[in-house]
Amino acid sequence: MALEERYRKELENSRSTYLIDSENAGELARLMLQDRILTAGMGGLFPEFPEGAPLPEGGRVLDLACGPGGWALEVAFAYPKVNVIGVDISQAVIEYANAQAWSRGLENVHFQVMNVMQPLDFPDASFDLINGRLLFGFMLPGTWPKLLAECQRLLKPGGVIRLTETELTLTTSPALERYQALLCDALKKAGQSFSADGRHVGLTPVLPKLVRQAGFANVRLRASAVEWSMGTEAHYPVFKDWLMGLELMRPFVMKMEGLDKSELERLEQQAVAEMQQEEFCGLYSLLTVWGYKPQ
């Protein structure tokens, strides 16, 4: 218990609660890959709006914890008459995202350094749509109501909040399943989980209720899944995401689980080997929750 208390005190004194070093160049590369996996696996930028995204000409979109800006850049390209702003806590990531916007000649997208667990520096009713994907990696349970209240403030009447989260992956790899169990338990010990027993991330079951409790109306859900079994198109991208993620998350899992580095590395190596076996099967499930600010 002393380890958990010490970690939480460190969090209180830290600027970032992200379980991976957000300034690590390897994490920048992994997030770029993950952006593409998510958008493709979900079926596009706004698959829950088959009639077209609710973005009027001159509308404004905010992307929370945007990382290197993959989704925001794609939205700016697809909707040239919409203005897109991405915010992230990492200065290095924001600099990269702005450089990407400049290199692509996209003048309708900009990126700023902000911590989404703090009040955001925008006026009331600034945006038509607010997006967030996989925020579980840094959000604390107690900060979700605050973030959703801030989204209420920032959205125009009738504006949309749109959040996509996951409970990690289901696979036939015993080693990867064991690793994911350790990761979920580590998140629970760190106070960064909604799980009742540390066996899951625990966010997807409570997210719709959190959105409703924040005052959003007509809250709806859309599930999607990425099959990344051996032989599928998604296998190598998701495998590479895990390959990089195992190394980047190692310090966090070691610290919270009290594991020796060599012990955890053996488990990682076994997971990597099993993910490349011919009979490997994997499913990456995602849940998108969206709702509307009352008129």
Predicted confidence (pLDDT) at residue 62 exceeds the cutoff of 90: yes
Average pLDDT over residues 130-134: 97
Predicted confidence (pLDDT) at residue 42 exceeds the cutoff of 50: yes
Res 17: pLDDT:
83
Res 1: pLDDT:
42
Band (pLDDT 50/70/90 cuts) for residue 54 is: confident
CA distance 291 to 250: 36
Res 15: pLDDT:
53
Q: Which CATH topology does 29-292 take?
A: Rossmann fold (3.40.50)
Percent of the chain with pLDDT over 70: 94
Provide the b/e sequence for 144-182 (b: ≥16 CB within 10 Å): beebbebbbebbbeebbbbbbbbbbbebbbebbbebbeb
Residue with the larger pLDDT of the pair 3 and 130: 130
Sheet (strand 83-88) strand order: 109-113, 83-88, 60-64, 127-133, 155-171, 282-292, 217-227
Q: pLDDT tens for residues 86-120?
A: 999 999 999 999 999 999 999 999 999 999 999 99
Least confident interval from 9-13, 55-59, 162-166:
9-13
CA distance 125 to 111: 19
> 68 with 141: CB under 8 angstroms?
no
Q: pLDDT tens for residues 172-206?
A: 999 999 999 999 999 999 999 999 999 999 999 99
CA distance 94 to 86: 8
Residue 62: phi and psi, rounded to 5, are -115, 130
Scanning the structure block, which residue is given the tokens 């689980």? 257
Predicted confidence (pLDDT) at residue 13 exceeds the cutoff of 70: no
Predicted confidence (pLDDT) at residue 216 exceeds the cutoff of 60: yes
Residue with the larger pLDDT of the pair 48 and 19: 48
Res 51: pLDDT:
83
Three-class secondary structure of residue 176 per DSSP:
helix
Band (pLDDT 50/70/90 cuts) for residue 53 is: confident
Q: pLDDT tens for residues 240-279?
A: 999 999 999 999 999 999 999 999 999 999 999 999 999 9
Res 38: pLDDT:
95
The two structure tokens encoding residue 98: 């702005």
